[in-house]
Structures are given as C-alpha cells and as structure tokens.
Structure 1
C-alpha cells in the first residue's frame, strides 16, 4: 500500500547560472524555451513533466528550487542586508594632549 507521494510544489524557480557559449545548439534552444535569456535571470514555471524534462536536459546550466525555497532565500538575504549597522569611519586626526 503506497501512501500519497511527496508534496511537490506546483511552481519552480529556475535560474541560469552558467553561460551558454560552448554549449550545444540544442541546449541553447532549450534554455531559450524555458524563458532564460541572461545569466542569473530567474523565471518561474509550472512543475510539469515537460518542464522537468527540459530542466533535466540542461541541468548543469541551471539552479532549480521551489518558489517557497526561493522566496525564503530572498527574504533571508534581504534581512541580512537590512540588519547590518551602517559603517561609520572617523577621519579626524588624533589629538595630542
């Protein structure tokens, strides 16, 4: 008796993390069909067998995470940047007493 499968996310965040020069033409067309045009660009696609097959074909060029994981990572990065105190540099010359 098999229970319900894992709860897959309905959407994926796909990011192009490697360049396309030197790759096969078929891989370039696949990346283009996913909607990626620039390095570090992120697109959101439905989690379908077709999209997963395209991702599997060019997996060495991509970073894939669920939308929930992507949003949590972006939020954590924003909080890290916001929590840092401003850098204060004092350029006054030393006083001699």
Structure 2
C-alpha cells in the first residue's frame, strides 16, 4: 500500500499578521483554535478541510504558506543576510609632475 499521500496532508505555515482587538468574538476563537496567541506567531498545521475552513474564516488576519514556500523564503533571507567578503579597491600610485 505505497500509494501517494492525499493532497490534504500538506503542511501549512500559518502566521497571525493582524491584531485581535476589534475583531469578532467568533474570529478570536477561531484564531485561538488554530493555536495563535500573539501577532507574528507562526504555527504548522496539516491542510485538513477543517483547518482550511478555519483559515478561510479569518483570512484577513492570517498569512498562509506551504512548508516548502516557508523554507524557501527562510533560505533566501539567510542568503541575503549572509556575510560577504569585503570589497578591496587598490589604487595605483599617483605620479607627481
């Protein structure tokens, strides 16, 4: 039984990008049920139909990526912030006339 994994078994990376004050009580409960408590907190969840429905309900409060997209973004950020060798500029001596 080595079949392909179902499409809904993908891992999602969910991040709370907006604050909860001023939102509906049901949306606060949904965000809490996703495991998010603070802004910019990130959680990993399987892409089940129930999780996708919860994300759809609070889609203006969260950002969602697949795990592959998240890892690629982290790698790109690390490469951009990597220490690079310094630029060495050598000038030829000026001849005085």
Which TM-score band (shorter chain)?
0.7 to 0.9
**Runs of 4+ residues over 2 Å off in structure 1:** 83-86
- Distance (whole Å) between structure 2 residues aligned to residue 35 and residue 67 of structure 1: 17
- Per the TM alignment, residue 9 of structure 1 is displaced from its structure 2 partner at its CA by 6.3
Give the root-mean-square deviation of aligned CA atoms: 1.7
Is the CA contact 1:9–1:67 (under 8 Å) kept in the aligned structure 2? no
Q: Counterpart of 1:77?
A: 77
Q: How does 1:10-89 map to 2 (within 5 A)?
A: 10-84=10-84
Normalised to the residue count of structure 2, the TM-score between the two structures is 0.76
TM-score of the aligned structures, taking structure 1 as reference length = 0.76
Point out the structure with max Rg over C-alpha: 2
Cα distance in 2 for partners of 1:25, 1:8 equals: 28
5+ residue gaps, structure 2, are: 1-6, 87-97
Instruction: Check conservation: 1:9, 1:66, Cα contact below 8 A.
Output: no
